[in-house]
Amino acid sequence: MDDASSRFEERLTGLFAPDVYRFGVPLFAVSGLFVGLGWTVPAVLVGGLGVFVAAFFRNPERAIPEGDEKVVSPADGRVIAVGEVEDANGEKALRIGIFLSVFNVHVNRAPVAGRVVSLDRSGDAYLAAFNPEAETRNVQCRMGLELADGRRVDVVQITGLIARRILCHAEVGEWLERGIRYGLIRFGSRTDVLLPIGSEALVKKGDRVRGGSSVIAELAAQGTAT
């Protein structure tokens, strides 16, 4: 079980992810400068880009549904994959893949409560996130969560065509509460969840989901995986 000293402390708690100060504020400053110089069109264009960046890094609060067996969506976006897959070790899992466009919230949330037992980074490509090859070739960060009863759930942050950096604040050994905000991906991406075989998907391809508040699956009971 978790203890207070090893619990993950949420850092993404403001109205916007901290990255907005690095990418958005300078744009608004330049837009203000253009206004002062009387350059209306450039001011509007740069200011509009600043608004877009601020919207990208928005970080809304979400009500997390009750029920430890309910898997919440790790991200906002559109479901693009639901089905059984086999990993490099030959183990099967139920995968639910979510595509995040540049207009979605990009803060990632823990789909279940568990302890981080692994963090693996891999890949070297930046294919479009909806490309099937992106699942294995794109730069990604795979976080393994072990539930209190030993079941394993993986959540994978995957870069896209525009996305170039994955932020994962969690560290191995820390306990994450379900729905807690633990990282983000910059500018378009994909997030996958891999669940024990026997888990029931509650979404289908094409469904829109919201991170932390949409229930996307029901976990298989311990010992029922086949």
Token digits for 63?
Answer: 């009500």
Three-state secondary-structure class, residue 33:
helix
Return the number of other C-beta atoms located less than 10 Å from residue 89's C-beta.
5
Partnered with residue 77 across adjacent β-strands are 209
Kindly state the helix (H) or strand (E) to which residue 102 belongs, with its residue range: none
CA dihedral over 75, 77, 83, 87, signed as positive or negative: negative
Nearest-angstrom CA–CA distance, 169 and 192: 17
Residue with tokens 């994450």: 176
Q: Which residues are the active-site residues?
A: 189
Nearest-angstrom CA–CA distance, 5 and 142: 24
